[in-house]
Homo-oligomer: A and B are copies of this chain.
């Protein structure tokens, strides 16, 4: 027999298809949603639909935003000759949180991954190259320190270097506050290779 009735099962299925939500959490969430006051349920459903309907790519940097041009690109006090390339909007937000980066961004929306069949044409690389026709001094590659992120970084550097623009990669090493004992060997070797004189 079915444990729950139709509408409950359907909701559980939809929720379980979201990332990071397993079967048990989906059940818990479903009953929480059903027991929520009607106005809160409406608000959640409309937030989902409105975000989907109104959020688009920034015309400049391709981050997800409500506006034609995102607040970072629209800010004339930032250095538009310095472009940091990130994999997604959340990574951009992570750097924005530091409050110290003065340049602008370019959001790829992914990384090259032969394993997942994601090639250079599937991420916003052509758009990056187009931006380089303007007045750009340096491109900082801040893709993740994963296999995909490194592959993408290599690809971009090979693509841009011939144009004559400076290309840099954010440092890889021991995280601040990190205990050497718990850090993997690859990171330890990276930290050694990237050592700087004091």
User: Chain A: residues with CB nearer than 8 A to chain B?
Assistant: 1-8, 10-11, 14-15, 18-20, 25, 27-34, 36, 38, 41-52, 54-55, 64-67, 70-71, 88-90, 93, 96-97
- Across the interface, do A66 and B29 meet the contact criterion of CB distance under 8 Å? no
Q: How many copies does the complex hold?
A: 2
* Contact flag A31-B88 (CB < 8 Å), given A11-B48, A41-B48, A70-B5: yes
A8 partner residues in chain B, CB cutoff 8 A: 51, 55, 64-66, 89
Asked if B48 contacts A93 (CB within 8 A), the reply is no
Interface SS of chain A: helix, strand, loop or mixed?
helix
Residues of B within 8 A of A71 (CB): 1-2, 5
Q: Are A10 and B66 in contact (CB under 8 A)?
A: no
Query: CB < 8 Å: which of B5, B38, B48, B54 contacts A33?
Result: B48
